[in-house]
Amino acid sequence: MPKSNLKSQIESLLLASGKPISLKEMARIIGQNMVDIQKEINSLTQEYRERGLRIIKQGESYFMVTARENAETVAKFLNEELRYELSPAALEVLAIVVYKQPITRAEIEDIRGADSSKSLRTLMMRGLICETGRKEAPGRPILYGTTVKMMAYLGIENEKQLPRLEELQSA
């Protein structure tokens, strides 16, 4: 298969998927080996640095999002300014989950000193956090973690772009 066609197919899958898609799944669907697909994803990622789209990686999966510098324009188009609709409490809970994941509701409430159930529900409904499993503790409480949608919401391509917790605490 010509490289340009492979790149086009990968681009179409990323755009159409609406959710993260693994390298293995792309290889299976397209009928190519994962090494060639990874090379083309790397090439697309570089090309998009100068355009309005970004490819973000979470684990072994990839997802296409709009560039963070265009967030205001996209929000106007969608008439949805999610960033401004989150309460300060929800933003606080999101920050705790980002830096302490996987984390339970009780652990979040210990940090905040306040009930967090409504904020957790809001963040889950918006797809910014999700259940990542159960803690091996009495009652087997739910563990929460972030999603690819959260990274798109923050306009980052991976967790390494977040400021380190130590930097935030010293500021």
105-150 pLDDT tens trace:
999 999 999 999 999 998 998 889 999 999 999 989 999 999 988 8
Same domain (yes/no): 12, 86: no
Q: What's the predicted TM-score (pTM) here?
A: 0.56
Widest CA span in the chain: 58
pLDDT of residue 81: 47
Same domain (yes/no): 50, 101: no
Domain containing 14 — which CATH number? 1.10.10.10
DSSP-based three-state secondary structure for 146: strand
pLDDT of residue 13: 94
Q: Which residues contact 42 (CB under 8 A, 6 or more apart)?
A: none
Same domain (yes/no): 86, 162: yes
DSSP annotation of 138: T
State the pLDDT confidence band at 80, using cuts at 50, 70 and 90: low
Provide the token pair at 138: 């009495």
Same domain (yes/no): 45, 112: no
Nearest to 26 by CA among 57, 53, 65: 57
Q: Which domain holds residue 162?
A: 81-170
| Domain count along the chain | 2
8-60 pLDDT tens trace:
999 999 988 878 899 999 999 999 999 999 999 999 999 998 899 999 988 88
Provide the token pair at 129: 């956090």
